[in-house]
Amino acid sequence: MPFFPEQASSFAPHVDALYGFMIAVTAFFSVLIGTLVVVFAIRYHRRSADEVATEVHESGALEIAWTIIPFLIVLVMFYWGAAVYFRITRPPANAIEVYVTGKQWMWKIQHADGHREMNELHVPVGQPVRLTMASEDVIHSFYVPAFRFKRDVVPGRFSTAWFEATRPGRYHLFCAEYCGTRHSGMIGWIYAMTPSDYQAWLSGGIAGETLAAAGAKRFVEHACNTCHGEQKGARGPSLIGIFGKPVRLQGGQVVVVDEAYIRESITNSQAKLVEGYPPIMPTFQGLISEEGLLQLTAYIKSLSPAVAPAAPPAPAPGASAAMERKPTKP
Ligand code: CUA
- Residue 114 burial (C-beta neighbours within 10 Å; 0-12, 13-18, 19+): middle
pLDDT value for 330: 36
pLDDT value for 107: 93
5 alpha carbon to ligand 1 midpoint, in Å? 21
pLDDT value for 314: 42
What is d(CA 231, CA 146) in angstroms, rounded to the nearest whole number?
50
Residue 138 CA: which ligand 1 atom is closest?
1
Task: Tell me if 175 CB under 6 Å of ligand 1.
Answer: yes
- 245 contacts 304 by C-beta, under 8 angstroms: yes
What is d(CA 246, CA 228) in angstroms, rounded to the nearest whole number?
18
328 alpha carbon to ligand 1 midpoint, in Å? 45
Task: Tell me if 177 CB under 6 Å of ligand 1.
Answer: yes
pLDDT value for 205: 66
pLDDT value for 113: 79
Residue 184 CA: which ligand 1 atom is closest?
2
Task: Tell me if 140 CB under 6 Å of ligand 1.
Answer: yes
pTM, full prediction:
0.67
Give nearest CA residue, ligand 1 atom 1: 140
Task: Tell me if 186 CB under 6 Å of ligand 1.
Answer: yes
**Other Cβ atoms closer than 10 A to 196:** 13
What is d(CA 316, CA 248) in angstroms, rounded to the nearest whole number?
37
Residue 180 CA: which ligand 1 atom is closest?
2
68 alpha carbon to ligand 1 midpoint, in Å? 43
149 alpha carbon to ligand 1 midpoint, in Å? 15
Write out the chain's pLDDT in tens, 330 residues.
Answer: 677 888 889 989 999 999 999 999 999 999 999 999 999 999 988 888 888 888 888 889 999 999 999 999 999 999 999 999 998 888 888 888 899 999 888 999 988 877 888 898 999 998 999 999 989 889 999 999 999 999 999 988 888 889 999 999 999 999 999 998 899 999 999 999 999 888 888 887 666 677 777 788 788 777 787 778 776 667 778 888 788 888 888 888 888 888 888 888 888 878 888 887 878 787 777 777 777 888 888 888 888 875 444 444 444 444 443 333 344 443
pLDDT value for 65: 94
289 alpha carbon to ligand 1 midpoint, in Å? 19
Residue 186 CA: which ligand 1 atom is closest?
1
Task: Tell me if 183 CB under 6 Å of ligand 1.
Answer: yes
What is d(CA 108, CA 9) in angstroms, rounded to the nearest whole number?
22
Task: Tell me if 100 CB under 6 Å of ligand 1.
Answer: no
pLDDT value for 213: 78
- 154 contacts 135 by C-beta, under 8 angstroms: yes
pLDDT value for 317: 42
Residue 139 CA: which ligand 1 atom is closest?
1
pLDDT value for 25: 94
191 alpha carbon to ligand 1 midpoint, in Å? 20
109 alpha carbon to ligand 1 midpoint, in Å? 15
